Amino acid sequence: MTDNALTEAARVSKAWPFEEARKLLKRYPDGKPGGEPVLFETGYGPSGLPHIGTFQEVLRTTLVRRAYEAITGGAPTRLVAFSDDMDGLRKVPDNVPNAQLLHDNLNKPLSRIPDPFGKFDSFAAHNNAMLRDFLDRFGFEYEFVSSSERYNSGAFDDALRGVLRNFGAIMDIMLPTLREERRKTYSPIMPISPTTGTVLQVPVEVIDADAGMIRFTDEDGTVIEQSVLSGQAKLQWKVDWAMRWVALGVDYEMYGKDLTDSGVQSGRIAKVLGGRKPEGLIYELFLDEKGEKISKSKGNGLTIEEWLSYGSDDSLSFYIFPNPKSAKSLHAGVIPRAVDDYWQFRERLAEQELDKQLGNPVWHLLRANLSSDRGVSSEAPGAGDTLPVTYGLLLNLVGVLGAEANAEQVWSYLGNYVENATPEAHPALAQLVDTALAYNRDFVAPTLSKRAPTANEAAALRALDSALAGMAADTSAEDIQTEVYEIGKREEFGFESLRDWFRAQYETLLGSAQGPRMGSFIALYGIPETRALIAEALAR
């Protein structure tokens, strides 16, 4: 496979990362001037604990970054994960300890508020560390940039002077978008009070734009003349966003549907400041199980840690990948299928032609954390790998073993079905054994209820038991499945369809309305053990 073949296929692929990458190709037909890297940015507001919505933005942006590298044959890129930790804390999150500590520091910059967890120098530092730790776990290639560091160090000073020089034009953009009451106090610049340290939302007067000097009235009524430079002020959100685009030279940033209007206004401000709005994708938001927007401050939906307690790292990325412009429900119930779908697509990848590979989500995911300086190729490490047991089947096994089951028990049963059944030989499966135990304990076991079979179902189960009694312990899953089918087809048992027969087995043997291929389950669980399940059902 030549690099040219990848580039040519990428330029016509309909996979959404390539469609986004083509926006950048149009922006820079001959590459970014001076050979500079194309800059991708993802923003993060550390007012609450990181959640999956935060992670998905970095993942999706990375996928576009890798697609751009493929489509250009290796043009240089950078990804900045930007934390807006200079912002003032406006509300105490619902899901953090020491709420009073945060309440006492409301309206101060997040980076100047003590950490309620008592682990870091500030609340922002704690949340930034959580974000970086998670991104590092996934192996993302990124540069972390702190708003506070940029403001405090003076790195944004020239950009702040630009805001002061264009103060009137920015006001002309923003005032028509505000309610009448808000217009009276609005200013693109929010000075930081020299007495209380809070981020003030008060009218300001520009005294000397080049010197960075403004005049405003402090909270105690004192008229203050103060510089906006070196961390003594913070820009309003939409102005700050535009300033950042221009100061950093951002070429691509995606954002949620709730920021659509903000993106329009910030784009206009960026033009006033002499820059250009980045390319980007407006994505739909994640919803919780009730269909409500997931919020950092509310802590609804799934946390990053919760997903990883019940599913694999790869399954999270896989669930995030498709259709970014469509809303997704994010709750524990979606995890098992995401795990199995990921592995099905991964197995299929190795046998696909290149154009089909580029449409396979796993091709993108396997390349997400490859280094930018590796060169460009169509390689997707791990393509074709499989799991010896599906996650769904593993959950059925654990469900039968009960809420108190442990990993050692599960591995003993896996020995019926998997060659060399040890955690060391199957590390990916070992992770899923642990998550299946947790998922079963918290979500499956409390809902299982095995019912008694009806008369015709009992007759069919007795026939199945008789068939199993004549099978060797190492009978293949396919041979068992064939016998299960044949019993379900027999007119004497009165099943209108095979689906009714399988549902009867699930509800009487497993306690669930849905289940696995019974041949695979029986081979995994064991023929004698399955016969014991049938005996229990018949005695019910």
Show binding-site residues: 296
Binding residues for ATP: 296
Conformational region of residue 200, where left means phi above 0, alpha means psi within -120 to 50, and beta covers everything else = beta
Number of Cβ within 10 Å of residue 176's Cβ equals: 9
- Contact partners, residue 255, CB within 8 Å, separation at least 6: 43, 57, 262, 263, 280, 282, 283
- Alpha helix stretches (DSSP H) within 440-511: 455-469, 477-489, 498-505
Please check whether residue 343 is in contact with residue 387, taking contact to mean a CB–CB distance below 8 angstroms.
yes
> Which run of H or E residues covers position 330?
none
DSSP states of 263-287: HHHHHHHHHHTT--PPB--EEPPEE
Please check whether residue 94 is in contact with residue 50, taking contact to mean a CB–CB distance below 8 angstroms.
no
Please check whether residue 511 is in contact with residue 399, taking contact to mean a CB–CB distance below 8 angstroms.
yes
**Lookup result for tokens 């959404």:** 16
SS3 of 362-388: HHHHHHCCCCHHHCCCCCCCCCCCCCC
**Lookup result for tokens 């312990």:** 473
Both tokens assigned to 337: 């299928």
Find the Cα–Cα–Cα–Cα dihedral 111, 113, 116, 120, rounded to 10°: 40
- For residues 54 and 45, what is the distance between their CA atoms, to the nearest angstrom? 9
Please check whether residue 46 is in contact with residue 9, taking contact to mean a CB–CB distance below 8 angstroms.
no
**Lookup result for tokens 């981020």:** 199
- For residues 171 and 151, what is the distance between their CA atoms, to the nearest angstrom? 22
